[in-house]
């Protein structure tokens, strides 16, 4: 899947570069789009989340079965100068991961389905090149905090009762790249972004010798977003 996304972006870059070479003076769309102090928009997209585990002792890894989820949110942008913009992108992110714990004979003990609904609040710095005709490459990065509505942090049950618990608040850093395309009526931006949790998200079981959580030193989310932005 990741290779597919990079191939698509490579193809887009190649096509737009070729178009620029053969059309030295294109008709510019939305010439004043980037001159306003504030800019607004929304994004749609999809994601794939994973977990990174750190262990206390060497043992078999916890297996993670990943799936595709979706993203939707709003954009508020403050123009700093021609090349820098400060962005706030609150969004709703949904994803499901299935964990396979080693050492169990029965599926009901080994498998835990983790459904996560994140409300994400990122503050990002967008760094762009000078506009080239009707397109402009960019890189973006920053920090975010997420609230996991499906964390089960306050549940009294734990893995012994079939409930996998995570902390409700997560802190992340994000970084990615994309291309602004200036169309006739709006600016369209496809982008790819990596998201990496800084904080440990695991709520350990009540039993300190739990076969599920006792050997886990830290569990952190990592993921990839593919977003399509309309401004």
Distance in angstroms (rounded) separating the CA atoms of residues 34 and 114: 41
Q: Give the pLDDT of residue 112.
A: 93
Distance in angstroms (rounded) separating the CA atoms of residues 5 and 141: 19
Q: Give the pLDDT of residue 31.
A: 81
Distance in angstroms (rounded) separating the CA atoms of residues 1 and 227: 15
Distance in angstroms (rounded) separating the CA atoms of residues 33 and 188: 12
Judged on CB neighbours under 10 Å (0-12, 13-18, 19+), 24 is exposed
- Structure-token match 């994140």, residue found: 118
Q: Give the pLDDT of residue 22.
A: 42
Residue 18 sits at φ, ψ, to 5 deg, of -65, -40
Q: Is the pTM of this model over 0.75?
A: yes
- Structure-token match 């503050």, residue found: 123
Instruction: Give the closest residue to 124 by CA, choosing from 85, 93, 79.
Output: 85
Q: Give the pLDDT of residue 225.
A: 92
Helix, strand, coil shares, percent, the chain, to 5: 10, 55, 35
Residue pair 87/34 in contact (Cβ under 8 Å)? The answer is no
**Alpha-carbon distances of 229 from 6, 78, 174, 180, 226, rounded to whole Å:** 18, 16, 17, 9, 10
Q: 2-230 sits in which CATH class?
A: mainly beta
pLDDT 10s per residue in the chain (231 long)?
A: 555 455 455 545 554 554 454 455 678 888 888 888 999 999 999 999 999 999 998 888 899 999 999 999 999 999 999 899 999 999 999 999 999 999 888 889 999 999 999 999 999 999 999 888 888 999 999 999 999 998 888 888 999 989 999 999 999 999 999 999 998 889 999 999 999 999 999 999 999 999 999 999 999 999 999 999 999
Q: Dihedral through CA 121, CA 122, CA 123, CA 128, nearest 10?
A: -140
């Amino acid at each position: 899947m990741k290779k597919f996304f990079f191939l698509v972006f490579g193809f887009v870059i190649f096509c737009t570069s070729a178009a620029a070479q053969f059309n030295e003076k294109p008709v510019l769309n939305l010439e004043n789009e980037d001159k306003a102090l504030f800019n607004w928009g929304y994004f749609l997209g999809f994601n794939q989340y994973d977990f990174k585990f750190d262990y206390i002792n060497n043992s078999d890894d916890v297996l993670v079965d990943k799936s595709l989820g979706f993203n939707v949110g709003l954009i508020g942008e403050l123009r700093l100068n021609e090349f820098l913009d400060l962005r706030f992108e609150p969004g709703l992110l949904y994803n499901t991961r299935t964990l396979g714990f080693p050492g169990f004979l029965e599926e009901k003990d080994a498998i835990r389905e983790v459904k996560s609904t994140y409300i994400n609040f990122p503050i990002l710095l967008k760094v762009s090149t000078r506009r080239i005709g009707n397109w402009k490459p960019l890189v973006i990065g920053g920090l975010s905090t997420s609230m996991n509505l499906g964390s089960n942090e306050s549940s009294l049950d734990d893995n012994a009762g079939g409930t996998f618990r995570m902390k409700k608040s997560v802190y992340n850093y994000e970084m990615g790249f994309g291309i602004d395309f200036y169309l006739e009526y709006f600016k369209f931006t496809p982008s790819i972004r990596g998201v990496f949790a800084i904080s440990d998200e695991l709520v350990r079981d009540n039993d300190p010798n739990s076969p599920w959580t006792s050997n886990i030193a830290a569990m952190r989310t990592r993921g990839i977003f593919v977003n399509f932005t309309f401004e």
